């Protein structure tokens, strides 16, 4: 049995974060994991237009991913550009 790839681990963690964003009318989609370990996501719904989206992305999503997967460099929103 193969161990999960880094991308599979990232997707799994995003799936665990998703319900918290959905509680506030938002959502998150995984877009890609770059070769230099940057996770690109797309915030949707209320999260896409929320003035706190950058905080959610950095303090919530990025912090959680880096906690479980220290090799992740950062998380960027493909729409917002950060």
CATH code for position 25 = 3.30.300.130
pLDDT in tens, the chain (82 residues): 678 999 999 999 999 999 988 998 889 999 999 999 999 999 888 777 777 778 888 888 999 999 999 999 999 988 755 4
Instruction: Tell me whether residue 37 is in a domain.
Output: yes
What is the count of structural domains for the chain? 1
Instruction: Tell me whether residue 82 is in a domain.
Output: no
Q: Which domain does 55 fall in, by range?
A: 6-77
Which residues sit opposite 76 in a β-bridge?
A: 40
Integer CA distances (angstroms), 6 to 22, 24, 39, 48, 66, in order: 24, 28, 10, 25, 12
Q: Full-prediction pTM beyond 0.85?
A: yes
Instruction: Tell me whether residue 1 is in a domain.
Output: no
Instruction: Tell me whether residue 46 is in a domain.
Output: yes
């Amino acid at each position: 049995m193969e161990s999960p790839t880094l991308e599979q681990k990232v997707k799994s963690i995003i799936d665990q974060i998703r319900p918290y964003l959905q509680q506030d009318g938002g959502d998150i989609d995984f877009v890609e994991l770059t070769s230099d370990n940057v996770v690109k996501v797309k915030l949707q719904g209320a999260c896409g237009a929320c003035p706190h989206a950058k905080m959610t992305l950095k303090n919530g999503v990025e912090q959680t991913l880096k906690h479980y997967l220290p090799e992740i460099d950062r998380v960027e929103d493909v729409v917002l550009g950060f």
